[in-house]
Amino acid sequence: MSDVVERTLTALPSLLSSDPSPGRPSSTSKLGTLIRGITELTSKHDEEKLIQRELVSIKEQVSSPNTTMRQMKELMVRAVYCEMLGYEASFSYIHAIKLAQQGTALDKRVGYLAVSLFLNESHELLLLLVNTVLKDLQSTNLIEVCMALTVVGQVFPKDMIPAILPMVEEKLNHPKEIIRRKAVLALYKFYLIAPNQVQHIHSKFRKALCDKDPGVMSASLHIYLEMVTEKPEGYKDLVVSFVTILKQVVGGKLPIDFNYHSVPAPWLQIQLLRILSLLGKNDRSTSEMMYEVLDESLRRAEMNHNITYAILFECVKTIYTIHPKAELLEKAAKCIGNFVLSPKINLKYLGLKALTYVVQQDANLALQHQMTIIECLDHSDLIIKRETLELLFRITNGQNVKVIVEKLLEFLRHSKDDYVTIDLGGKVTELAEKYPSEMI
Amino acid sequence: MRFMLLFSRQGKLRLQKWYVPLGDQEKRRLGRELVQTILGRKAKMCSFLEWRDLKVVYKRYASLYFCCAIEEQDNELITLEVIHRYVELLDKYFGSVCELDIIFNFEKAYFILDEFLLGGEAQETSKKSVLKAIEQADQLQENIDFQMRLFPAPS
């Protein structure tokens, strides 16, 4: 802690001095003044007064014709800050759009950022942005293209998708991988808000899946996860590709850049595991294609880092969702055991969650760990307690229902959260209906 | 991901990014209540929370809380790593980042967040390429600044 204090103290003099560092526009000091002003105040009322004064001053300056784009950028940053603190600054929205339109480089960037923070998809002002985005997508300056694609991937009015779709599609073939990646993500966003508009370009997604750049390929996985969730039968032919990709990732064939703490591309692995679990569900032949790579993933993820636990957890979930295979189930059960017994509280929570998930298929597993479960019932962390109760609810039978209901009621008595009360109350009623005789 | 919030130990918001469309009032209310709930938790407690109908993952780095609300089917542990990766990116960019860097340069923090988490999904891009993209944009700005100093616009 003292290290942070020391760094803060050394940084303060340069921040408080009024001459800006060379190359940096002096405008940032105005934001600094505002922030420092707010931190000095102690009451909410004073803060309100200061911000209102600030907003009035910003309003004046944005409406004046003499304001340069550079100054406008700085005003937008301050407006974003005020909105973040909870004060309304809707007069600045239109100026943010103008800034994105007329500014260059950093000014444009801040303009786009302000737009994505101020507006949401249904806002009518967003339509004004469409022309700017169209223009920037055609710009020879790649950074402007990137900015446009970034904003398209975040907020874009649904009705204007047809206008921009061809241009985004074109970017899928761009030589630069960052642009291809952002184009895929923009299409993903379109798919989420208007799936029928992008039906015709499924073949292009396949091309993205086979792209030589792992970044583009993993971007396409987001779309595939959505499509597979909706209709798994349509993508069974891709199982081989997904399995191959996962094999390559787990085997360390990706460039070393993509390693996260010596684990290869963890997010990619998890996406693939999820897709595979959806494809293998209730389908024996498809599941058989995956056993080998799942085994490999389990083996490789043996190290002791949070990220490997994340992959293990996802692996375990996948193994239990697809068509069962004895050896894999055994290994997965062992994994869950390790989680539940772990002293690390986060892992315990996940172990309990995993147990809840698998208990329908394998009630024995819960029995094996019943001592730990009973301990968790009295844990000081309410979240763990609640998760344990969820688990108990699943393993209720004629013999233990009375004890379990007692524990549930006890928890309910102390619970202050409405949602929890409703949820658990519902469970108690359910049990009462199922085992009426025992309840007496 | 539904949204990400960064806030100080006093509950002051430093950054907020929403990936779902919600009204302003709603956002403010949600943000305030969630911040209070998390600040009320003790140090040794679980990093995961089921709050209202959301799954929330949070972690404290020095004086800043990083908090994400995720979808029902998302993996909690991987979200913790998303937070960690974001902190690593900030650290690399600002050089040993501290809360003050994020406060006074929050728009840069947003740029980095947007490169890494587009539309609420973590991009599997190498740390190098995320930072390179930001650097290139910064470089472009510096070039323009330099030009403007050599040839100031006529007033």
In a 3-state reduction of DSSP, which class is residue B7? strand
What residues contact residue B134 under an 8 Å CB cut-off, 6+ apart?
A: B93, B108, B111, B112, B115
* Residue in B123, B138, B142 with CA at minimum distance from that of residue A178: B123
Of residues A277 and A39, more confidence is placed in: A277
User: Does A32 sit within 8 Å of B49, measured CB to CB?
Assistant: no
- pTM value is 0.81
Cβ separation A307–B78 shorter than 8 A: yes
pLDDT of A25 > 70? The answer is no
pLDDT > 90 in chain A, percent: 0
Chain A residues with beta carbon closer than 8 angstroms to that of B111? 109, 113
The whole-chain average pLDDT of chain A stands at: 81
What pLDDT, on a 0 to 100 scale, did the predictor assign at position B66? 94
- Estimate the share of chain B in helix, then strand, then coil, as percent rounded to the nearest 5: 50, 25, 30
Distance from the Cα of B93 to chain A's closest Cα (Å) equals 16
Partner-chain contact B45 A383, CB within 8 Å? yes
Q: Cα(A65)–Cα(A68) distance, rounded to whole angstroms?
A: 8
Chain A from 36 to 75: CB within 8 A of any B CB:
none
Q: Name chain B contacts of A15, Cβ cutoff 8 Å.
A: 100, 104
| CB-based contact B46 A346, cutoff 8 Å | yes
Give the number of other Cβ atoms within 10 Å of residue A440's Cβ: 6
pLDDT over 50 (residue A248): yes
Dihedrals phi, psi of A19, to nearest 5 degrees: -85, 130
End-to-end CA separation in angstroms for chain A: 57
CB contact residues (below 8 A), chain A span 350-369, against chain B: 350
A192: chain B residues, CB-CB within 8 Å: 119
Contacts of A381 in chain B (CB under 8 A): 44-46
Interface touch A345/B142, C-beta < 8 Å: no
Residue B6: per-residue pLDDT: 93
For residue A360, how many other CB atoms are within 10 A of its CB? 10
| Mean pLDDT confidence for A361-388 | 78
Both tokens of residue A98? Answer: 């103008």
Rounded to 10 deg, the angle between the A105-118 and B127-150 helix axes is 130
CB contact under 8 A, B145 and A23: yes
Find the largest Cα–Cα distance for chain A.
82
Of B76, B114, B122, the CB nearest to A150: B114
- The ipTM (two decimal places) reads 0.80
| Cα of B38 to nearest chain A Cα, Å | 12
Q: How far is CA A108 from CA A7, A72, A129, B152, in A?
A: 33, 10, 12, 20
Each residue of A283-323: pLDDT tens digit?
A: 888 888 888 888 888 887 766 677 888 888 888 888 888 88
A193 touching B, CB under 8 A?
no
For residue B60, the model assigns a pLDDT of 92
pLDDT bracket for residue A3 (50, 70, 90): low
Q: What sign does the dihedral B2-A415-B61-B59 (CA atoms) show?
A: negative
The pLDDT score that the predictor gives to residue A237 is: 86
Give the separation between CA B30 and CA B101, rounded to whole angstroms: 26
pLDDT digits (tens, 9 = 90+) for A102-147: 877 778 888 888 888 888 777 788 888 888 888 888 888 888 888 8
Picking from A35, A114, A12, A44, the residue whose alpha carbon sits closest to that of residue A73 is A114
Token pair listed for A23: 């190359």
pLDDT tier, A23 (very low <50, low <70, confident <90, very high otherwise): very low
Asked if A307 and B81 come within 8 Å (Cβ–Cβ), the reply is yes
Tell me if A336 sits within 8 A of A355, measured CB to CB: yes
Partner-chain contact B46 A345, CB within 8 Å: yes
Quote the minimal CA–CA distance from A117 to chain B in Å. Answer: 7
What is the number of residues in chain A? 440
Q: Which two tokens stand for residue A203?
A: 């073949």
Q: How long is chain B?
A: 155
Across A194-208, A239-253, A326-340, A353-367, least confident range: A353-367
Residues of B in contact with A250 (CB under 8 A): none
Is B123's CB within 8 Å of A349's CB?
Answer: no
Q: Cβ contacts (< 8 Å) between A258 and chain B: which residues?
A: 124-126
Collect all residues of chain A within an 8 Å Cβ-Cβ radius of residue B71.
none
**C-beta atoms of A255 and B126 within 8 A:** yes
Q: Is the pLDDT of residue A55 over 70?
A: yes
Q: Which residues contact A265 (CB under 8 A, 6 or more apart)?
A: A214, A218, A249, A254, A258, A259, B124
Q: For chains A and B, what is the number of CB pairs under 8 angstroms?
A: 167
Residues of A in contact with B78 (CB under 8 A): 266-267, 270, 307, 310, 314
CB contact under 8 A, B24 and A8: no
Query: To the nearest whole angstrom, how far is the Cα of B32 from the nearest Cα of chain A?
Result: 10
A78/B contact by beta carbon, under 8 A: no
Q: Which residue of A has its CA nearest to B108?
A: A110
Instruction: Please tell me if residue A307 touches chain B, with a CB cutoff of 8 Å.
Output: yes
Average pLDDT over residues A412-437: 79
B72/chain A closest Cα distance in angstroms: 12
> Coil, strand or helix: which one is A103?
coil
Q: Is it the case that residue A9 has pLDDT exceeding 70?
A: no
Report the C-alpha gap between A328 and A315 in whole angstroms: 10
| Shortest CA gap B36–chain A (Å) | 13
From the list A84, A178, A314, the residue facing B13 with the nearest CB is: A84
Q: Is 60 exceeded by the pLDDT of residue A24? A: no
A75-89, A420-434, B78-92, range with greatest mean pLDDT = B78-92
Q: DSSP 3-state assignment of A397?
A: coil
Q: For residue A263, what are the β-bridge partners?
A: A260
Q: Which two tokens stand for residue A94?
A: 């239109």
The whole-number pLDDT of residue B69 equals 92
Rounded (5°) CA angle A314-A319-A324: 170
Contact present, A388 and A424 (Cβ < 8 Å): no
Q: Which of A1, A109, A220 to mutate to test the interface with B (most CBs of B within 10 A)?
A: A109
- State the Cα angle at A102 between A98 and A106, rounded to 5°: 100
Query: How many Å apart are CA A140 and CA A145, to the nearest integer?
Result: 8
CA–CA separation, A127 and A112 (whole Å):
14
Least Cα separation, residue A386 to chain B (angstroms): 10
CB-CB under 8 Å, B140 with A8: no
Torsion-angle region of residue B37: left (phi > 0), alpha (psi -120 to 50) or beta? alpha
Q: Render pLDDT for A199-236 as a digit per residue (tens, 0 to 9).
A: 788 888 888 888 888 888 888 888 888 888 888 888 88
Q: Residue-wise pLDDT tens for chain B (155 aa)?
A: 889 999 998 888 889 998 888 888 888 888 889 999 999 888 888 888 888 778 899 999 988 999 999 988 888 888 888 899 899 899 989 988 888 888 888 888 998 888 888 777 777 667 777 888 888 888 877 777 777 777 765 55
Between the alpha carbon of residue A432 and those of residues A360, A390, A398, the distances in Å are 20, 16, 11
CB within 8 Å: B98 and A11:
yes
By C-alpha distance, which of B26, B21, B75, B27 is closest to A193?
Answer: B21
Buried b / exposed e along B73-90 (16+ C-beta atoms within 10 A): ebbbbbbbbbbbbbbbbb
Statement: residue A420 has pLDDT above 80: no
Contacts with A306 from chain B: Cβ below 8 Å: 77, 80-81, 84
Average pLDDT for residues A418-423, to the nearest whole number?
Answer: 78
- Interchain contact A265–B (C-beta under 8 A): yes
Query: Is A313 close to B77, i.e. CB distance below 8 A?
Result: yes
What pLDDT, on the 0 to 100 scale, is given for residue A22?
Answer: 36
Q: 10 Å Cβ neighbour count for A14?
A: 10
Other CB atoms within a 10 A radius of the CB of residue A363 amount to 12
Q: How many CA atoms lie within 13 A of B48 on its CB side?
A: 27
List of residues 6+ apart from A254 with CB closer than 8 A: A214, A248, A264, A265
**Residue A309 and residue B77: Cβ atoms within 8 Å?**
yes
What is the DSSP secondary-structure string of B33-65? Answer: HHHHHHHTS-TTS-SEEEETTEEEEEEEETTEE
The C-alpha angle A147, B92, A307, rounded to 5 degrees, equals 95
Q: For chain A, give the percent of residues with pLDDT over 70.
A: 92
